[in-house]
Amino acid sequence: MAEYEAVIGLEVHVQLKTNTKMFCSCKNEFGGAPNSHVCPVCLGMPGVLPTPNEEAIIKTILTGEMLECQIAPRCKFDRKNYFYPDMPKNYQISQYDEPLCANGAVTLNLLAFPKDVQNDPKVNFDKKIRLERIHLEEDVAKSFHYDGASGIDFNRAGTPLMEIVSKADIATPEEAFAYLTALKQILIYGGVSDADMEKGQMRCDVNVSIRPKGQKEYGTKVEIKNLNSISAVRKSLHYEILRQTADVEAGVPIIQQTRRWDDGRGETFMMRTKEKAHDYRYFPDPDLLPLNTEEGLHQTAKSRLPELPAAKKSRLVADYAVTEYQASVLASEVALANYFEKAAANAKNKSAVANFLLNDYFATGGDIENIPVNPEFFSELSNLVEEGKINTKQAKEVFPKMVAENKAPSVLVKELGLSQITDTAALEALCDQAIAANPRSVADFKAGKTNAVNALKGQVMKLSKGQANPQVVGDILLKKLSA
Protein backbone atom coordinates (compact mmCIF):
# COMPACT_ATOMS: atom_id res chain seq x y z
CA MET A 1 0.00 0.00 0.00
CA ALA A 2 1.34 3.40 -0.99
CA GLU A 3 1.80 6.04 1.66
CA TYR A 4 -0.26 9.16 1.22
CA GLU A 5 0.13 12.69 2.43
CA ALA A 6 -2.53 15.36 2.76
CA VAL A 7 -2.39 18.88 1.35
CA ILE A 8 -4.57 21.28 3.28
CA GLY A 9 -5.43 24.95 2.81
CA LEU A 10 -7.79 27.01 4.96
CA GLU A 11 -10.01 29.97 4.15
CA VAL A 12 -10.94 31.75 7.33
CA HIS A 13 -13.61 34.44 7.55
CA VAL A 14 -13.27 36.73 10.55
CA GLN A 15 -15.89 39.19 11.78
CA LEU A 16 -14.18 42.42 12.72
CA LYS A 17 -14.88 44.06 16.05
CA THR A 18 -16.08 47.53 15.03
CA ASN A 19 -18.83 49.78 16.37
CA THR A 20 -20.59 50.08 13.04
CA LYS A 21 -21.09 48.11 9.84
CA MET A 22 -18.73 48.19 6.87
CA PHE A 23 -20.58 50.66 4.66
CA CYS A 24 -23.24 52.30 6.84
CA SER A 25 -23.61 53.54 10.39
CA CYS A 26 -25.79 50.68 11.71
CA LYS A 27 -24.52 48.96 14.85
CA ASN A 28 -22.26 45.96 14.32
CA GLU A 29 -23.70 43.89 17.12
CA PHE A 30 -24.44 40.21 17.59
CA GLY A 31 -27.95 39.41 18.74
CA GLY A 32 -30.79 41.90 18.79
CA ALA A 33 -34.27 41.31 17.42
CA PRO A 34 -34.26 40.29 13.73
CA ASN A 35 -33.83 43.29 11.43
CA SER A 36 -33.30 45.75 14.28
CA HIS A 37 -29.83 46.87 13.10
CA VAL A 38 -30.74 47.83 9.56
CA CYS A 39 -31.01 50.94 7.39
CA PRO A 40 -31.66 51.65 3.70
CA VAL A 41 -27.95 51.16 2.93
CA CYS A 42 -27.49 47.67 4.39
CA LEU A 43 -30.90 46.62 3.09
CA GLY A 44 -29.83 47.54 -0.46
CA MET A 45 -32.74 49.94 -1.01
CA PRO A 46 -32.77 51.77 -4.36
CA GLY A 47 -30.48 54.81 -4.51
CA VAL A 48 -28.30 54.18 -1.47
CA LEU A 49 -24.50 54.43 -1.49
CA PRO A 50 -21.78 52.79 0.60
CA THR A 51 -19.29 54.78 2.68
CA PRO A 52 -16.29 52.80 3.89
CA ASN A 53 -15.63 52.15 7.58
CA GLU A 54 -12.02 53.23 8.14
CA GLU A 55 -11.79 51.38 11.45
CA ALA A 56 -12.39 48.10 9.58
CA ILE A 57 -9.67 48.98 7.08
CA ILE A 58 -7.27 49.81 9.93
CA LYS A 59 -8.05 46.52 11.70
CA THR A 60 -7.45 44.55 8.51
CA ILE A 61 -4.10 46.29 7.97
CA LEU A 62 -3.25 45.66 11.64
CA THR A 63 -3.97 41.96 11.09
CA GLY A 64 -1.69 42.03 8.06
CA GLU A 65 1.03 43.69 10.11
CA MET A 66 0.70 41.09 12.89
CA LEU A 67 0.93 38.31 10.30
CA GLU A 68 3.96 39.70 8.48
CA CYS A 69 2.02 40.61 5.30
CA GLN A 70 2.76 43.20 2.64
CA ILE A 71 0.22 46.00 2.90
CA ALA A 72 -1.33 47.37 -0.30
CA PRO A 73 -0.65 51.06 -0.99
CA ARG A 74 -4.35 51.61 -1.61
CA CYS A 75 -7.61 50.09 -0.51
CA LYS A 76 -9.75 49.28 -3.53
CA PHE A 77 -13.14 47.56 -3.47
CA ASP A 78 -14.73 45.43 -6.17
CA ARG A 79 -18.20 44.11 -6.77
CA LYS A 80 -18.65 40.33 -6.71
CA ASN A 81 -21.86 39.55 -8.57
CA TYR A 82 -24.17 36.67 -7.68
CA PHE A 83 -27.82 36.30 -6.76
CA TYR A 84 -28.63 35.07 -3.27
CA PRO A 85 -31.47 36.08 -0.96
CA ASP A 86 -29.11 36.94 1.89
CA MET A 87 -27.24 39.41 -0.32
CA PRO A 88 -29.24 42.64 -0.34
CA LYS A 89 -27.71 44.12 -3.49
CA ASN A 90 -27.09 40.76 -5.19
CA TYR A 91 -23.49 41.80 -5.35
CA GLN A 92 -21.04 41.71 -2.49
CA ILE A 93 -18.55 44.52 -2.00
CA SER A 94 -15.24 42.68 -1.69
CA GLN A 95 -11.66 42.93 -2.88
CA TYR A 96 -10.56 41.05 -5.95
CA ASP A 97 -7.19 41.80 -7.52
CA GLU A 98 -5.87 44.13 -4.84
CA PRO A 99 -6.31 42.53 -1.38
CA LEU A 100 -5.33 44.83 1.48
CA CYS A 101 -2.69 42.35 2.66
CA ALA A 102 -0.63 39.84 0.68
CA ASN A 103 1.67 36.97 1.67
CA GLY A 104 2.61 36.75 5.36
CA ALA A 105 2.53 33.75 7.68
CA VAL A 106 1.18 32.24 10.87
CA THR A 107 3.90 30.66 13.01
CA LEU A 108 2.67 27.68 15.00
CA ASN A 109 3.72 26.96 18.60
CA LEU A 110 3.62 23.99 20.95
CA LEU A 111 0.65 25.13 22.98
CA ALA A 112 -1.42 25.77 19.84
CA PHE A 113 -1.40 22.04 19.08
CA PRO A 114 -3.95 19.66 20.57
CA LYS A 115 -2.85 18.51 24.07
CA ASP A 116 -2.59 14.87 23.00
CA VAL A 117 0.19 15.58 20.50
CA GLN A 118 2.16 18.10 22.57
CA ASN A 119 4.65 15.38 23.53
CA ASP A 120 4.91 13.83 20.06
CA PRO A 121 8.55 14.08 18.99
CA LYS A 122 7.62 13.79 15.27
CA VAL A 123 5.70 17.08 15.27
CA ASN A 124 7.37 20.29 14.12
CA PHE A 125 5.75 22.66 16.58
CA ASP A 126 7.34 25.84 15.18
CA LYS A 127 6.24 25.40 11.55
CA LYS A 128 5.38 28.49 9.53
CA ILE A 129 2.16 28.35 7.53
CA ARG A 130 2.35 30.89 4.72
CA LEU A 131 -0.58 33.11 3.81
CA GLU A 132 -1.84 33.89 0.32
CA ARG A 133 -3.83 37.02 1.12
CA ILE A 134 -6.15 38.87 3.49
CA HIS A 135 -8.98 40.94 2.12
CA LEU A 136 -11.89 42.94 3.47
CA GLU A 137 -15.52 42.52 2.45
CA GLU A 138 -19.06 42.81 3.77
CA ASP A 139 -20.88 39.92 5.43
CA VAL A 140 -24.25 38.67 4.22
CA ALA A 141 -27.57 38.34 6.04
CA LYS A 142 -28.85 35.16 7.70
CA SER A 143 -31.65 33.09 6.25
CA PHE A 144 -34.12 31.08 8.30
CA HIS A 145 -36.27 28.42 6.70
CA TYR A 146 -39.71 27.54 7.93
CA ASP A 147 -42.42 25.27 6.63
CA GLY A 148 -43.26 26.81 3.27
CA ALA A 149 -41.53 30.12 3.91
CA SER A 150 -38.18 31.68 4.58
CA GLY A 151 -37.16 34.70 6.62
CA ILE A 152 -34.08 36.87 6.35
CA ASP A 153 -32.44 38.70 9.24
CA PHE A 154 -30.33 41.54 7.85
CA ASN A 155 -28.63 42.45 11.16
CA ARG A 156 -25.44 40.77 9.99
CA ALA A 157 -25.72 42.08 6.42
CA GLY A 158 -22.99 44.59 5.71
CA THR A 159 -20.90 43.92 8.81
CA PRO A 160 -17.15 43.95 8.15
CA LEU A 161 -15.66 40.57 7.32
CA MET A 162 -12.03 39.71 6.74
CA GLU A 163 -11.03 36.69 4.67
CA ILE A 164 -7.66 35.10 5.46
CA VAL A 165 -6.48 32.58 2.88
CA SER A 166 -3.59 30.28 3.70
CA LYS A 167 -1.32 28.60 1.20
CA ALA A 168 -1.64 24.82 0.96
CA ASP A 169 1.15 24.48 3.54
CA ILE A 170 -0.79 22.49 6.10
CA ALA A 171 0.06 18.79 6.15
CA THR A 172 -1.94 17.32 9.05
CA PRO A 173 -5.23 17.84 10.87
CA GLU A 174 -3.16 18.77 13.94
CA GLU A 175 -1.38 21.52 12.02
CA ALA A 176 -4.77 22.82 10.88
CA PHE A 177 -5.84 22.83 14.55
CA ALA A 178 -2.66 24.64 15.59
CA TYR A 179 -2.96 27.12 12.70
CA LEU A 180 -6.48 28.12 13.74
CA THR A 181 -5.54 28.29 17.43
CA ALA A 182 -2.48 30.44 16.75
CA LEU A 183 -4.41 32.65 14.33
CA LYS A 184 -7.24 33.12 16.81
CA GLN A 185 -4.71 34.02 19.51
CA ILE A 186 -3.20 36.75 17.34
CA LEU A 187 -6.59 38.15 16.27
CA ILE A 188 -7.54 38.48 19.93
CA TYR A 189 -4.16 40.00 20.74
CA GLY A 190 -4.73 42.73 18.16
CA GLY A 191 -8.27 43.40 19.40
CA VAL A 192 -9.33 42.70 15.81
CA SER A 193 -11.99 40.11 16.61
CA ASP A 194 -13.15 37.88 19.43
CA ALA A 195 -12.76 35.06 16.89
CA ASP A 196 -15.22 32.71 18.60
CA MET A 197 -16.05 29.97 16.08
CA GLU A 198 -19.14 28.89 17.96
CA LYS A 199 -20.55 32.40 17.61
CA GLY A 200 -19.60 32.52 13.94
CA GLN A 201 -17.09 35.28 14.55
CA MET A 202 -14.50 33.05 12.91
CA ARG A 203 -15.67 30.72 10.14
CA CYS A 204 -13.50 28.23 8.37
CA ASP A 205 -13.70 26.48 5.01
CA VAL A 206 -11.23 23.66 4.48
CA ASN A 207 -9.70 22.46 1.23
CA VAL A 208 -8.05 19.08 1.38
CA SER A 209 -6.56 16.64 -1.11
CA ILE A 210 -4.26 13.67 -0.82
CA ARG A 211 -1.39 12.45 -2.99
CA PRO A 212 1.13 9.62 -2.80
CA LYS A 213 4.11 10.71 -0.74
CA GLY A 214 6.76 12.28 -2.94
CA GLN A 215 4.38 13.18 -5.77
CA LYS A 216 4.60 16.82 -6.88
CA GLU A 217 1.14 17.28 -8.44
CA TYR A 218 -1.79 17.95 -6.16
CA GLY A 219 -4.68 15.55 -5.94
CA THR A 220 -8.26 16.63 -6.58
CA LYS A 221 -9.36 18.92 -3.79
CA VAL A 222 -12.46 18.61 -1.71
CA GLU A 223 -13.98 21.51 0.22
CA ILE A 224 -15.49 20.95 3.67
CA LYS A 225 -18.07 23.34 5.10
CA ASN A 226 -20.11 23.67 8.30
CA LEU A 227 -17.19 23.54 10.67
CA ASN A 228 -18.23 25.17 13.92
CA SER A 229 -15.18 24.62 16.09
CA ILE A 230 -11.46 24.16 15.80
CA SER A 231 -11.73 20.54 16.94
CA ALA A 232 -14.40 19.93 14.30
CA VAL A 233 -11.86 21.06 11.71
CA ARG A 234 -9.39 18.52 13.03
CA LYS A 235 -11.95 15.72 13.22
CA SER A 236 -13.37 16.39 9.76
CA LEU A 237 -9.88 16.36 8.26
CA HIS A 238 -9.08 13.02 9.88
CA TYR A 239 -12.29 11.61 8.50
CA GLU A 240 -11.82 13.11 5.06
CA ILE A 241 -8.20 11.99 4.65
CA LEU A 242 -9.19 8.42 5.57
CA ARG A 243 -12.17 8.55 3.21
CA GLN A 244 -10.11 9.87 0.31
CA THR A 245 -7.33 7.37 0.95
CA ALA A 246 -9.81 4.49 0.99
CA ASP A 247 -11.35 5.70 -2.28
CA VAL A 248 -8.00 6.07 -4.01
CA GLU A 249 -6.90 2.66 -2.75
CA ALA A 250 -10.13 1.16 -4.08
CA GLY A 251 -9.57 2.83 -7.43
CA VAL A 252 -12.47 5.26 -7.02
CA PRO A 253 -11.49 8.64 -8.47
CA ILE A 254 -11.93 11.71 -6.25
CA ILE A 255 -14.24 14.28 -7.80
CA GLN A 256 -14.05 17.97 -6.98
CA GLN A 257 -16.88 18.64 -4.59
CA THR A 258 -18.11 20.43 -1.50
CA ARG A 259 -18.89 18.29 1.54
CA ARG A 260 -20.71 19.11 4.73
CA TRP A 261 -19.35 18.08 8.13
CA ASP A 262 -21.89 16.45 10.42
CA ASP A 263 -20.39 16.87 13.86
CA GLY A 264 -22.91 14.58 15.56
CA ARG A 265 -22.19 11.66 13.23
CA GLY A 266 -18.53 12.49 12.77
CA GLU A 267 -18.75 12.19 8.99
CA THR A 268 -18.68 14.40 5.91
CA PHE A 269 -21.51 14.28 3.38
CA MET A 270 -21.51 15.41 -0.21
CA MET A 271 -23.36 18.71 -0.79
CA ARG A 272 -22.57 19.43 -4.42
CA THR A 273 -20.00 18.76 -7.10
CA LYS A 274 -18.30 21.73 -8.67
CA GLU A 275 -19.43 21.62 -12.29
CA LYS A 276 -17.59 24.77 -13.26
CA ALA A 277 -16.20 27.84 -11.59
CA HIS A 278 -18.85 30.49 -10.93
CA ASP A 279 -18.28 33.66 -12.93
CA TYR A 280 -18.59 36.45 -10.38
CA ARG A 281 -17.92 39.18 -12.95
CA TYR A 282 -15.77 41.18 -10.55
CA PHE A 283 -15.26 44.84 -11.43
CA PRO A 284 -14.12 47.88 -9.43
CA ASP A 285 -17.00 49.33 -7.40
CA PRO A 286 -17.66 52.75 -8.97
CA ASP A 287 -19.33 53.94 -5.75
CA LEU A 288 -16.09 53.69 -3.75
CA LEU A 289 -12.99 55.64 -4.62
CA PRO A 290 -9.71 53.81 -3.94
CA LEU A 291 -8.33 55.00 -0.62
CA ASN A 292 -4.65 55.76 -0.11
CA THR A 293 -3.44 53.64 2.79
CA GLU A 294 0.21 54.63 2.81
CA GLU A 295 -0.02 57.44 5.29
CA GLY A 296 -2.89 57.74 7.76
CA LEU A 297 -4.44 54.29 7.74
CA HIS A 298 -1.24 52.27 7.69
CA GLN A 299 0.41 54.48 10.32
CA THR A 300 -2.58 54.20 12.63
CA ALA A 301 -2.54 50.42 12.25
CA LYS A 302 1.18 50.29 13.00
CA SER A 303 0.77 52.43 16.09
CA ARG A 304 -1.67 49.84 17.41
CA LEU A 305 0.64 46.86 16.89
CA PRO A 306 0.53 44.91 20.15
CA GLU A 307 3.33 42.84 21.65
CA LEU A 308 2.76 39.47 20.01
CA PRO A 309 2.67 36.13 21.90
CA ALA A 310 6.27 35.08 21.15
CA ALA A 311 7.70 38.42 22.25
CA LYS A 312 5.51 38.47 25.31
CA LYS A 313 6.68 35.02 26.33
CA SER A 314 10.36 36.03 26.15
CA ARG A 315 9.72 39.19 28.12
CA LEU A 316 7.82 37.34 30.86
CA VAL A 317 10.74 34.95 31.30
CA ALA A 318 13.22 37.83 31.40
CA ASP A 319 11.27 40.27 33.58
CA TYR A 320 9.34 37.96 35.90
CA ALA A 321 11.67 34.99 36.22
CA VAL A 322 8.83 32.61 35.46
CA THR A 323 9.59 29.29 33.80
CA GLU A 324 9.45 28.89 29.99
CA TYR A 325 6.35 26.77 30.36
CA GLN A 326 4.63 29.27 32.66
CA ALA A 327 5.48 32.05 30.20
CA SER A 328 4.04 30.08 27.27
CA VAL A 329 0.81 29.46 29.06
CA LEU A 330 0.55 33.05 30.30
CA ALA A 331 1.27 34.45 26.83
CA SER A 332 -1.25 32.18 25.15
CA GLU A 333 -4.04 34.53 26.18
CA VAL A 334 -3.55 38.24 26.24
CA ALA A 335 -6.07 38.68 29.05
CA LEU A 336 -4.22 36.12 31.15
CA ALA A 337 -0.83 37.72 30.54
CA ASN A 338 -2.22 41.16 31.35
CA TYR A 339 -3.78 39.91 34.56
CA PHE A 340 -0.60 38.15 35.55
CA GLU A 341 1.46 41.28 35.06
CA LYS A 342 -0.85 43.18 37.39
CA ALA A 343 -0.97 40.31 39.87
CA ALA A 344 2.80 39.92 39.99
CA ALA A 345 3.61 43.62 40.02
CA ASN A 346 4.45 43.84 43.74
CA ALA A 347 5.31 40.22 44.41
CA LYS A 348 8.71 39.23 45.73
CA ASN A 349 8.42 35.79 44.12
CA LYS A 350 6.69 36.28 40.76
CA SER A 351 6.90 32.62 39.76
CA ALA A 352 4.86 31.82 42.88
CA VAL A 353 2.17 34.22 41.62
CA ALA A 354 2.20 32.41 38.26
CA ASN A 355 1.64 29.15 40.17
CA PHE A 356 -1.27 30.55 42.16
CA LEU A 357 -2.83 31.85 38.95
CA LEU A 358 -2.19 28.91 36.62
CA ASN A 359 -2.70 26.06 39.10
CA ASP A 360 -4.79 27.22 42.05
CA TYR A 361 -7.03 29.69 40.29
CA PHE A 362 -7.87 27.53 37.28
CA ALA A 363 -8.42 24.59 39.65
CA THR A 364 -11.40 26.54 41.02
CA GLY A 365 -13.00 26.31 37.58
CA GLY A 366 -12.84 30.06 36.97
CA ASP A 367 -11.86 31.76 33.72
CA ILE A 368 -9.69 34.77 33.13
CA GLU A 369 -12.30 37.03 31.52
CA ASN A 370 -14.44 36.97 34.64
CA ILE A 371 -11.85 36.63 37.37
CA PRO A 372 -13.38 38.37 40.38
CA VAL A 373 -10.19 38.93 42.34
CA ASN A 374 -8.28 42.16 42.77
CA PRO A 375 -4.96 41.22 41.12
CA GLU A 376 -2.97 42.90 43.93
CA PHE A 377 -4.19 40.18 46.31
CA PHE A 378 -2.03 37.65 44.43
CA SER A 379 1.09 39.70 45.25
CA GLU A 380 -0.03 40.11 48.81
CA LEU A 381 -0.67 36.41 49.33
CA SER A 382 2.64 35.30 47.85
CA ASN A 383 4.46 37.95 49.88
CA LEU A 384 2.86 36.66 53.12
CA VAL A 385 4.36 33.26 52.33
CA GLU A 386 7.62 34.77 51.20
CA GLU A 387 7.94 36.80 54.40
CA GLY A 388 7.18 33.72 56.50
CA LYS A 389 3.97 35.19 57.88
CA ILE A 390 2.02 32.15 56.77
CA ASN A 391 3.13 28.88 55.31
CA THR A 392 2.20 27.35 51.95
CA LYS A 393 -0.40 25.11 53.48
CA GLN A 394 -2.08 28.08 55.12
CA ALA A 395 -1.87 29.98 51.86
CA LYS A 396 -3.83 27.19 50.20
CA GLU A 397 -6.47 27.64 52.87
CA VAL A 398 -6.64 31.37 52.24
CA PHE A 399 -6.73 31.11 48.46
CA PRO A 400 -10.30 29.81 47.81
CA LYS A 401 -11.71 32.42 50.20
CA MET A 402 -9.70 35.15 48.52
CA VAL A 403 -11.22 34.12 45.17
CA ALA A 404 -14.74 33.60 46.43
CA GLU A 405 -14.94 36.77 48.51
CA ASN A 406 -12.39 39.01 46.75
CA LYS A 407 -10.98 39.80 50.19
CA ALA A 408 -7.43 40.85 51.02
CA PRO A 409 -5.29 37.86 52.15
CA SER A 410 -4.04 39.79 55.21
CA VAL A 411 -7.65 40.23 56.34
CA LEU A 412 -8.43 36.57 55.69
CA VAL A 413 -5.35 35.44 57.64
CA LYS A 414 -6.67 37.30 60.69
CA GLU A 415 -10.22 36.06 60.20
CA LEU A 416 -9.03 32.48 59.96
CA GLY A 417 -6.58 32.95 62.84
CA LEU A 418 -3.77 31.71 60.64
CA SER A 419 -0.83 33.77 61.79
CA GLN A 420 2.30 31.66 61.81
CA ILE A 421 4.34 31.09 64.99
CA THR A 422 7.78 32.48 64.31
CA ASP A 423 8.65 33.22 67.96
CA THR A 424 11.79 31.07 68.39
CA ALA A 425 11.39 30.63 72.15
CA ALA A 426 7.86 29.26 71.76
CA LEU A 427 8.92 26.98 68.92
CA GLU A 428 11.93 25.71 70.90
CA ALA A 429 9.58 24.66 73.68
CA LEU A 430 7.41 22.77 71.19
CA CYS A 431 10.50 21.11 69.66
CA ASP A 432 11.68 19.97 73.06
CA GLN A 433 8.23 18.54 73.69
CA ALA A 434 8.30 16.57 70.42
CA ILE A 435 11.83 15.29 70.99
CA ALA A 436 10.88 14.09 74.46
CA ALA A 437 7.75 12.34 73.19
CA ASN A 438 9.45 10.55 70.25
CA PRO A 439 12.65 8.84 71.39
CA ARG A 440 12.48 6.42 68.44
CA SER A 441 12.69 9.17 65.84
CA VAL A 442 15.56 10.73 67.74
CA ALA A 443 17.36 7.39 67.79
CA ASP A 444 16.73 6.92 64.03
CA PHE A 445 18.18 10.33 63.32
CA LYS A 446 21.25 9.66 65.38
CA ALA A 447 21.63 6.35 63.53
CA GLY A 448 21.95 8.35 60.33
CA LYS A 449 18.35 8.39 59.06
CA THR A 450 18.21 12.14 58.47
CA ASN A 451 14.64 11.79 57.18
CA ALA A 452 13.53 11.10 60.71
CA VAL A 453 13.63 14.83 61.31
CA ASN A 454 10.53 15.15 59.16
CA ALA A 455 8.53 12.96 61.51
CA LEU A 456 9.52 15.25 64.37
CA LYS A 457 8.70 18.30 62.26
CA GLY A 458 5.23 16.84 61.66
CA GLN A 459 4.80 16.45 65.40
CA VAL A 460 5.76 20.07 66.05
CA MET A 461 3.34 21.26 63.34
CA LYS A 462 0.62 19.20 64.95
CA LEU A 463 1.39 20.63 68.38
CA SER A 464 1.28 24.16 66.93
CA LYS A 465 -2.03 23.39 65.22
CA GLY A 466 -0.33 24.00 61.88
CA GLN A 467 0.75 27.48 62.79
CA ALA A 468 4.47 26.91 63.20
CA ASN A 469 6.81 28.11 60.50
CA PRO A 470 8.04 24.76 59.15
CA GLN A 471 11.38 26.15 58.04
CA VAL A 472 12.19 27.63 61.44
CA VAL A 473 11.05 24.39 63.10
CA GLY A 474 13.35 22.34 60.87
CA ASP A 475 16.31 24.56 61.72
CA ILE A 476 15.67 24.31 65.50
CA LEU A 477 15.24 20.51 65.37
CA LEU A 478 18.46 20.01 63.40
CA LYS A 479 20.33 22.23 65.81
CA LYS A 480 18.96 20.38 68.86
CA LEU A 481 19.46 16.85 67.43
CA SER A 482 22.97 17.56 66.21
CA ALA A 483 24.00 19.09 69.56
Partner 1 sequence: MSSPLYTESVASLRRKLAAKEITAVDVADQLLARIEQADGKLNAYNFKPDAAKVRAAAQAADLSKPLGGVPIAIKDVINVQGDPCTCSSKILQGYTAPYDATVIKKLREAGAVLVGRTNMDEFAMGSSTENSSWGVTRNPWDTDRIPGGSSGGSAAVVGGHEAFAALGSDTGGSIRQPAALCGCVGLKPTYGRVSRYGLVAFASSLDQIGPFTKTVEDAALLMEVISGHDPKDNTSVNRPVPKYTDALKQDLRGMKLGVPKEYFISGIDPEVEAATKAAIEHFAKQGAEIVDISLPHTEYACAVYYIIAPAEASANLARFEGVRYGNRVKNPKDILDLYRSTREQGFGPEVKRRIILGTYVLSSGYYDAYYNRAQKVRQLIKRDFEQAFTKCDAILTPTSPTAAFKVGEKTSDPLQMYLADIFTIAVNLAGVCGISIPCGFTKSKLPIGLQIIGAQWGEENVLRAAHGYEQTTEWHKELPGI
Q: How far is the CB of 100 from partner 1 (least distance, A)?
A: 17
Q: Are 312 and 328 in contact (CB under 8 A)?
A: no
Q: How far is the CB of 79 from partner 1 (least distance, A)?
A: 5
List the x/- string, 38-77, binding to partner 1 by CB under 8 A: --x--xxxxxxxxxx-------------------------
In the bound state with partner 1, the residue whose beta carbon lies nearer, of 55 and 169, is 55
Instruction: Tell me the sheet residues that pair with 99.
Output: none
* Sites for partner 1 among residues 113-172 (CB under 8 A): 152
In the bound state with partner 1, the residue whose beta carbon lies nearer, of 272 and 462, is 272
Q: How far is the CB of 65 from partner 1 (least distance, A)?
A: 25
# of chain residues touching partner 1 (CB under 8 A): 28
Q: How far is the CB of 47 from partner 1 (least distance, A)?
A: 5
In the bound state with partner 1, the residue whose beta carbon lies nearer, of 90 and 424, is 90
Q: Are 467 and 419 in contact (CB under 8 A)?
A: yes
Q: How far is the CB of 205 from partner 1 (least distance, A)?
A: 22
CB atoms within 10 A of CB 250: 7
Q: How far is the CB of 200 from partner 1 (least distance, A)?
A: 23
| Backbone torsions φ then ψ of 137, nearest 5 degrees | -150, -175
Instruction: Tell me the sheet residues that pair with 81.
Output: 91
In the bound state with partner 1, the residue whose beta carbon lies nearer, of 125 and 280, is 280
Q: Are 347 and 382 in contact (CB under 8 A)?
A: yes
* Sites for partner 1 among residues 225-284 (CB under 8 A): 279, 281-283
Q: How far is the CB of 281 from partner 1 (least distance, A)?
A: 4
* Sites for partner 1 among residues 76-95 (CB under 8 A): 79, 81, 83, 85, 88-91
In the bound state with partner 1, the residue whose beta carbon lies nearer, of 92 and 328, is 92
Please state, in angstroms and rounded to a whole number, the distance separating the CA atoms of residues 459 and 437: 9
Helices vs. strands in the chain: H and E counts, helices first: 16, 17
Please state, in angstroms and rounded to a whole number, the distance separating the CA atoms of residues 140 and 159: 8
In the bound state with partner 1, the residue whose beta carbon lies nearer, of 82 and 362, is 82
Q: How far is the CB of 34 from partner 1 (least distance, A)?
A: 14
CA of 67: how far to CAs of 101, 225, 287, in Å?
Answer: 9, 25, 30
Please state, in angstroms and rounded to a whole number, the distance separating the CA atoms of residues 30 and 144: 16
In the bound state with partner 1, the residue whose beta carbon lies nearer, of 80 and 234, is 80
In the bound state with partner 1, the residue whose beta carbon lies nearer, of 47 and 214, is 47
CA 186 from centroid of its chain's CA atoms: 8
By CB under 8 A, is residue 34 in contact with partner 1? no
SS3 per residue for 414-440: HHCCCCCECCHHHHHHHHHHHHHHCHH
List the x/- string, 285-324, binding to partner 1 by CB under 8 A: -xxxx-----------------------------------
Q: Are 177 and 114 in contact (CB under 8 A)?
A: yes
Please state, in angstroms and rounded to a whole number, the distance separating the CA atoms of residues 305 and 61: 10
Starting at the edge strand found earlier in the chain, the sheet holding 283-284 runs: 91-94, 78-81, 283-284
Task: Give the CA dihedral 362, 366, 370, 375, nearest 10 degrees.
Answer: -40
Q: How far is the CB of 114 from partner 1 (least distance, A)?
A: 41
Contact residues toward partner 1 (CB under 8 A) are: 40, 43-52, 79, 81, 83, 85, 88-91, 152, 279, 281-283, 286-289
